[in-house]
Amino acid sequence: MTVFAGTMLLVNAAYNLIVWPRFWKRVTADPRARDKAGRKTRFYTVHAVLIGAALLIALVSAVAGVLLLIA
């Protein structure tokens, strides 16, 4: 069961590291990300926080997965 849990945590980390940076490119290119003066909008900020949290969770998942597999 530990091997399965470690593997699933690594799969989760890999998925998040593949998906979220691609989504970030779409967010930054979205016209709602900047106002007419070029300043970042709440749309940009909210998505930056969400993507940052998802990548942090991916990092924690990867560390936990490796620790489970080497233990």
Span 49-60, average pLDDT: 97
Q: What is the per-residue pLDDT across 1-24, written as a single tens digit (0 to 9) for each? A: 899 999 999 999 999 999 999 999
* Residues 16, 50: Cα–Cα separation, whole Å: 12
Instruction: Report which secondary-structure segment, H or E, holds 48.
Output: helix 42-70
pTM given for the model: 0.86
* Residues 38, 49: Cα–Cα separation, whole Å: 19
Q: Is it the case that residue 39 has pLDDT exceeding 90?
A: yes
CA dihedral 9, 18, 60, 27 (to 10 degrees): -140
* Residues 54, 49: Cα–Cα separation, whole Å: 9
pLDDT for the residue 71: 82
